A and B are shown apart, each in its own frame.
Chain A
Amino acid sequence: MMQIDRTITLLKQGKHITEEAVYSLCLKSQELLMTEANVTHVDTPVTICGDIHGQLHDLLTLFDKSGGVEKTRYIFLGDFVDRGFYSLESFLLLICYKLKYPDRITLIRGNHETRQITKVYGFYDEIMRKYGNSNVWRYCCEVFDYLSLGAIINNNIFCVHGGLSPDVSTIDEIRAIDRKQEVPHEGAMCDLLWSDPDDVEKWSLSPRGAGFVFGQNEVNQFLHTNNVELIARAHQLVMEGYKEMFDGGLVTVWSAPNYCYRCGNVAAVLRIEDDLQRNYTIFDAVQPQDGVGNAIIPTKKSQMDYFL
């Protein structure tokens, strides 16, 4: 426990964590996550958070603005890594909290918590840059395989990263999935992490040729069958931080402000009270500075060049 506290302090300062320390953290969190169900039960009050994408300083703001893990229960809907410059620190901070307060934090797998995606979208590169080898990336990917696929709050609100799957009509069917693997390219597990809501009449194929989009009918059907009132998901950028759809039957929560350090969007978290009331907290991006006041996030500033 002492070691976890020390690591948390280091992480908050964005300091280097040794490979051995990461290995030990990853091993411990695997043991812990292994015991969790595919769909975890969570009690209210709880705060639902969307994509983080390695924006550590914004994650710290998130905890700051929403009560902090000492006092508040959290569900994170996945996509902790990639895009931002501090994927490792963000993910490690979350698993440290998970180890320290196992019943106060639930981590759901996002489509970026996979080997294939992290190799392309930044997390792998970040590890290579910070460690010179890919060991730490491998340890983290092994933790990804144990993350839950969803959560259910008071038997009333279903939480998932992407959306619904035509292969899943009841939450029990999700419980039956063997989740401890790399996210496959098809099937229920893939759909839960990848699919998007849209204004379509019924299940339809994404024009990309893989993946589903679902509409209000599918949402209503799912809500009715499972006797829940809301699907809370993340996965899509929203300028306002959250977006309710289908008469409030589905909400997208987005928690990475100024996404990719240039979108200018705000972020939100959704707190569910004991009476299931929904309260959104909106927050802005921070411009973190080092001790002498220099910005430490490399902003993507226009670099003047003699292009041809």
Chain B
Amino acid sequence: MSQRPDNKKFTRPEGINTIQIDAARQMHMRTVQARIPGGGTTTQSSTSQYKIPQNALNGGEPRTITTGRMFSAPSRSPPARHICNNPNNPPCANCGGVIIPSPKAFLPLEDRPSISINNWTISSKKRPILNAEELNNWETKELRGLGALPEMIFGNNFIRIMNTEHKWGIEFNTLDALKMVSLSDSGIRVAHSKVWLDSKLQQQQQDIMGDSSSIDMENSLKIVKNYDWTYSTEYEGTVVGDNKDTYSFKVDNNLKLPIDKLSKQDKILYFDEMVLFEDELADCGVSMLNVKIRVMNERLLLLCRFFLRVDDVLLRVYDTRVYVEFDDNVVMREIKKYEGNYNDILAKHHISHSHDPKAALRDSNWVAENTPIVDKRCEIMTFNDLKQ
């Protein structure tokens, strides 16, 4: 867009230029094509449901993919039974390969990848950070009271797991996660807080003695807006659907996620990963909520992770895992919380071949493995237990 010397303020032109639409279409085409294994250039079918006839699947060899793949396919593919709900989903193993939703297809087009297996439908959406209007709405209405919102809010992103038969689902979205941020003082302070405050108090003393009163320092050293500036959220997902109040999770801490089943390298039919919000804590660390999902023929696993690092102060990881076994209609949710002192955990990082010993502290997997667990809970839901 060019400068508009006639206006005092820049205003967006009404509508979108055709050239932009065309560029966006081309970009979308490229992204969609890039997702097709083998870099195929075929145009996708434009039907809204892409279902593979069963006889094409059972008869003969499963279709092989010619290009190098990240994962070796299992020796014998199970019969396909899933449906790609979005024609832009690249074809899957039986219809052609792995589904990896595009991270970039937006403006003005929107991509909503989705897949169905049995009576389960999994969908996700990725969009840019909130615009000024949306942000204002969140600040003044949805999240009123929460001081400054995180710097990057991917407020239109979500991953949803829905059981269409029982009309029950669980989704992970940004707004509900931020609604759980505490509106009281977290008690956490950045590492240099004490030095900073002391110097201000000292200065205040000098000002009193010198009788110069530029500003009311005593007042200014109070926190006016109290909220948890680390955006720590114990979000465990939002239960959705017509029957969201009918079925409920039951706590059973003896249960464990079936690591053996989940460790199997079953073909991933659908994978997506997204950030829901992120803040750099004014360059004093990082606070991030991230969610990812992988769907295989028989089960799925979702991990929603809140990761907090306040440099030289503390580390925190809150993990929520959702596991669904499609044939049994069993949903498990596991919550694990880790928290520890920054320097204690840094000290565990003995071997530092890297020039940057703190790199490990930016890796949430490493942090989760090396930080003491402070809370753990496991829940199960089968559609048999009705809520009281």
* Chain A residues near B (Cβ < 8 Å): 65-66, 111-112, 117, 120-121, 124-125, 128, 166-167, 169, 185-187, 194, 196, 198, 200-213, 236-240, 242-244, 259-260, 262-265, 268, 271, 273, 277-283, 299-308
Contact = CB atoms under 8 A, between A and B. Distances in A.
B70 interface: yes
A210 B67 CA distance: 53
Classify the interface of chain B: helix, strand, loop or mixed: loop
A207 B229 CA distance: 6
A262 B192 CA distance: 30
Contacts of B351: none
Contact of B101 (A187, A208, A238, A302): A302
A306 B268 contact: yes
Given A125-B356, A194-B282, A198-B147, A207 B220 contact: no
A210 B301 contact: no
A182 to B, nearest CB: 13
A209 B190 contact: yes
A243 B151 contact: no
B129 interface: yes
A87 B132 CA distance: 28
A301 B227 contact: no
A73 to B, nearest CB: 15
A187 B7 CA distance: 39
B108 interface: no
Contact of B196 (A186, A262, A278): A186
B8 interface: yes
B40 interface: no
B236 to A, nearest CB: 18
Closest 9 CB pairs of A and B: A264-B128, A209-B189, A209-B193, A203-B220, A280-B10, A204-B224, A210-B196, A207-B229, A302-B273
Contacts of B356: 124-125, 128
A254 to B, nearest CB: 11
Contact of B135 (A210, A239, A262, A302): A239
Given A210-B189, A239-B135, 20 more contacts: A121-B280, A125-B356, A128-B355, A167-B203, A185-B192, A185-B195, A194-B282, A203-B220, A207-B227, A208-B284, A209-B189, A210-B190, A210-B196, A213-B148, A263-B128, A265-B128, A271-B3, A273-B5, A281-B1, A282-B1
Nearest to A83: B280
Nearest to A200: B224
A238 B132 contact: yes
27 contacts: A65-B2, A112-B283, A117-B283, A198-B148, A200-B225, A205-B220, A209-B190, A211-B282, A237-B151, A238-B132, A239-B129, A239-B130, A239-B131, A239-B135, A240-B131, A262-B103, A264-B107, A278-B9, A281-B1, A282-B10, A302-B101, A302-B103, A302-B292, A304-B98, A306-B263, A307-B292, A307-B294
Counting contact residues on chain B (CB < 8 A from A), the size range is 35 or more
Contact of B283 (A66, A121, A124): A121
Contact of B214 (A166, A185, A212, A283): A166
Given A237-B151, A308-B259, A208 B281 contact: yes
B84 to A, nearest CB: 16
B327 to A, nearest CB: 21
Contacts of B71: 304, 306
Nearest to B227: A207
Contacts of B109: none
Contacts of B135: 239
A203 B200 CA distance: 13
A307 to B, nearest CB: 6
A282 B268 CA distance: 41
Nearest to B152: A263
Contact of B225 (A166, A207, A271, A300): A207
B259 to A, nearest CB: 7
Contact of A308 (B263, B268, B281): B263
B303 interface: yes
A207 B185 contact: yes
Nearest to B292: A307
B111 interface: no
B376 interface: no
Q: In the complex, which of the residues A196, A202, A244, A306 has the most CB atoms of chain B within 10 Å of its own CB atom? A: A306
Interface string B188-207: 11101101110110010000
Given A202-B220, A238-B132, A283 B1 contact: yes
Interface string B212-250: 001111011111111111000000000000000000000
Contacts of A280: 3, 9-10
B106 interface: yes
